[in-house]
Structure 1
């Protein structure tokens, strides 16, 4: 890990032409560094924190580069906890590069996530909050944004710190019990200790149970469109996206590979797949597409199996025939929603023989019943619960380790094993939670986490 006293700099706005661009510097001496190239150098050097100064930025040769606005943030009242300078210049990539080249003569380019890493190392946020910064940047829909913002504001940290305090208090009571036994003093109430341990386990399990919802918010909910060729999968795919992404023709087998796109439904990120039609005797290329279709069905959270509404008017047809093993494997029936497509082609007053969702991509509100059914099936509540959600896989793994130790402690207590064994398991449970908060970390772990950030954050 690089020395955190070094001055680092990086652009914090994307490359390209824009109204303005921003370059950030952090570290001891960054204010003096910028003052050496700034027309209002004395004003900058004496500036208080959270102040703006307008002036001209000069190259090393003394040539003026641009008129800039400089924001001053003095330690510890900054994002990183160090002195921070942000230079707002005109958004011409050439100007940005010239300013950067001038600065880099006296400092170095920041690594991905290094500003946030310094914020963590300087105690401005714990590790779970630092990770939430990247989650907020990468969020695909507003519910994912809300969950990341809650974590950034410390909802998860506060919850875990309270849980950690309860585990620590219980461990101390068991350690005291060891001393009581050595001194022939009355032992604590084992039933009360056991009940407290059960309550702690319940709290941890409730938090872990949010992991599936968190995964969906972070990675997106996977929905697979499947069915026989030419039943309207690509048309439905385009209608849900509200753009012509997939080729639609009257000829069966148009989609031979799969298409993947993101959309938002009730604020939740959705990954939707348009797959090759399922049919017997396909050619070799189409056969590979069908094989991939079955793989995507296995990975998906929900399968929309399309059937043309006009083909199911036969009263002798059984509903189970629609989901035959040759179409949807039996083990996937539980996550399959039957969708009767092209419902606009049905004659008026035609009875809807089978339960399912009847939809049309060309009529007004023709998809409303379908999107409502998807939301209900996946329980996409528009309001997140007012409690933390585990949206990070690293946190879920650490919480699982914590629960394993808590359950071992419970087993030790039930079997009347020594209190020292119970205390040991409680220490292991605490260590797992401290991994999430960053109390216990390694350089390798920090490098891995922050390497996923963009440069400038």
Structure 2
């Protein structure tokens, strides 16, 4: 018999409700031991009189019914002390989160109440659940596959509507279905290869290298499409890092305030106001953004400013996008030129600011120096150019991909690595098919790709990998 586990399923802290979850064969017996149902009854016209127990263990009110909330008290069976007034629900497996019998005790949202109730449950025969163990049991019991289990933690950590929608789509099984579709096509090829290798004299359709090559190329394209979605998926999940850089007093802090729609950074006419990097989380078009306002890059003897400038340069390597602000009302300075050299071929957006003062900067020469960059003319203090920045960020993130919530994106490093390995194995098979090598060699590569895809959804994954995945979960999930 597997252990019955228990943990607090809600975040610790002050709140209206806190939930203690129990899962396993002993969930209901434990509930019966610690919980005393109560009900209000009308006696002589008085609705407030309750039946009172004649002694400990007397059941008051209706018995516990599957999937029905029951009001009552949690009572320490050793001391007869009432620990909390609660609502309890018993849910019989397999139609539960873990596919086991599950009990949830809805306590008052006090750390003290939750700790006392959990301690009593553990004393009554349950053990404390490991982080992610409830979801791990859901996976092991076949209710979720591994991509769906990983989507649970992404749902919990979602930073935007878009990241929540992607995680919800994965939890609903969309990614699993795509992987299963690719594996099904690979299985068809494996069957054809095996039959032609093992039974060459039977009356079967003979496989040709041309048809095998075409089929493997189609399957490989499906894998490539998923891999190509990984950068967008990572950004949706973790956030798009945008570093605002430029020399002092070009409008970096003003831009940050405009994008955040609040006065987060100090703005003055005095150059060098920002001496350290300021990092803020926000969303643009439902894309989570990590916005980094950096110290103005310039020569200085001030030690504090030097530290801030070094941090600004570090931001170049960390950012997904560099948003370089230049004063469009002035010619490029030596400091501007040095920053442009650092930007180089990195993904960049060039904001020509203060254009309301008239354009002096030589735009064509600048475009020759930064041919890969996107250029936007703006007057940040008047709000001009902000909408264009948001549009370009959205375009850069999605790269023309479909933006509907139903799109399939890879958001997990483990999944991306397995897809790349499967692609490499399949490409080896494709190359051998082109060369007309023995079918036995091609079969090995196709089978390897099939198994690697199985690791993504958990069908061929090792126990150590399963433990690693679920160790990242919070306690009680």
TM-score (norm 1): 0.89
Q: Give the equivalent residue in structure 2 for 1:32.
A: 29
- The reply to whether residue 307 of structure 1 matches residue 326 of structure 2 is yes
Q: Confirm or deny: 8 A CA contact 2:330 2:361 kept in the other structure.
A: no
- The reply to whether residue 341 of structure 1 matches residue 371 of structure 2 is no
From 438, 443, 449, the equivalent of 1:418 is 438
- The reply to whether residue 76 of structure 1 matches residue 85 of structure 2 is no
DSSP 3-state at the match of 1:396: helix
Q: Give the equivalent residue in structure 1 for 2:44.
A: none
- Cα distance in 1, alignment partners of residues 385 and 427 from structure 2: 51
Q: Deviations over 1:238-292 (max 9, x none)?
A: 3322333333343322333312221111101111111121112453443333233
DSSP 3-state at the match of 2:94: coil
Task: Return 5+ residue gaps in structure 2 as ranges.
Answer: 38-56, 365-374
Q: Give the equivalent residue in structure 2 for 1:16.
A: 13
Q: Deviations over 1:96-135 (max 9, x none)?
A: 2221121121322211111101100111100010000001
Q: Deviations over 1:376-402 (max 9, x none)?
A: 344477833644211111100000011
Aligned residues, how many? 444
Matches within 5 A, 1:200-239: 200-239=219-258
Q: Give the equivalent residue in structure 1 for 2:147.
A: 128
DSSP 3-state at the match of 1:28: coil
- Report the more deviating stretch, 183-192 or 441-450: 183-192
Q: Deviations over 1:161-209 (max 9, x none)?
A: 1110110110111111112447798842321122111111111111211
- The reply to whether residue 287 of structure 1 matches residue 306 of structure 2 is yes
DSSP 3-state at the match of 1:39: strand
Q: Confirm or deny: 8 A CA contact 2:233 2:410 kept in the other structure.
A: yes
- The reply to whether residue 373 of structure 1 matches residue 409 of structure 2 is no
- The reply to whether residue 257 of structure 1 matches residue 269 of structure 2 is no
- The reply to whether residue 53 of structure 1 matches residue 70 of structure 2 is yes
Q: Confirm or deny: 8 A CA contact 1:405 1:426 kept in the other structure.
A: yes
- Report the more deviating stretch, 210-219 or 385-394: 385-394
Q: Give the equivalent residue in structure 1 for 2:476.
A: 456
DSSP 3-state at the match of 1:130: helix
Q: Deviations over 1:66-98 (max 9, x none)?
A: 221112211101000110001111222222222
Deviation, structure 1 residue 361: 4.6
Q: Give the equivalent residue in structure 2 for 1:439.
A: 459
- Report the more deviating stretch, 425-434 or 288-297: 288-297
- Report the more deviating stretch, 18-27 or 41-50: 41-50
Q: Give the equivalent residue in structure 2 for 1:329.
A: 341
- CA 1:446–1:43: 2 relative to 1, 3 Å: farther
Q: Give the equivalent residue in structure 1 for 2:116.
A: 98
- Cα distance in 2, alignment partners of residues 33 and 63 from structure 1: 17
DSSP 3-state at the match of 2:295: coil
Q: Confirm or deny: 8 A CA contact 1:35 1:44 kept in the other structure.
A: no
- CA 1:237–1:206: 2 relative to 1, 3 Å: same
Q: Deviations over 1:412-453 (max 9, x none)?
A: 111221111111111110111011011122232122211111
- Cα distance in 2, alignment partners of residues 413 and 27 from structure 1: 51
Aligned CA RMSD, in angstroms, stands at: 2.7
DSSP 3-state at the match of 1:171: helix
- The reply to whether residue 85 of structure 1 matches residue 97 of structure 2 is no
Deviation, structure 1 residue 309: 3.9
Deviation, structure 1 residue 311: 2.6
Matches within 5 A, 1:348-363: 354=363, 356-363=375-382
Q: Confirm or deny: 8 A CA contact 2:233 2:411 kept in the other structure.
A: yes
From 172, 178, 184, the equivalent of 2:191 is 172
- Cα distance in 2, alignment partners of residues 424 and 265 from structure 1: 46
- The reply to whether residue 388 of structure 1 matches residue 408 of structure 2 is yes
- CA 1:178–1:382: 2 relative to 1, 3 Å: closer
Q: Give the equivalent residue in structure 2 for 1:402.
A: 422
Task: Return 5+ residue gaps in structure 1 as ranges.
Answer: none
- Cα distance in 1, alignment partners of residues 175 and 110 from structure 2: 40
- Report the more deviating stretch, 291-300 or 396-405: 291-300
Q: Confirm or deny: 8 A CA contact 2:326 2:336 kept in the other structure.
A: no
- Report the more deviating stretch, 45-54 or 421-430: 45-54
DSSP 3-state at the match of 1:310: coil
- The reply to whether residue 156 of structure 1 matches residue 175 of structure 2 is yes
DSSP 3-state at the match of 1:36: helix
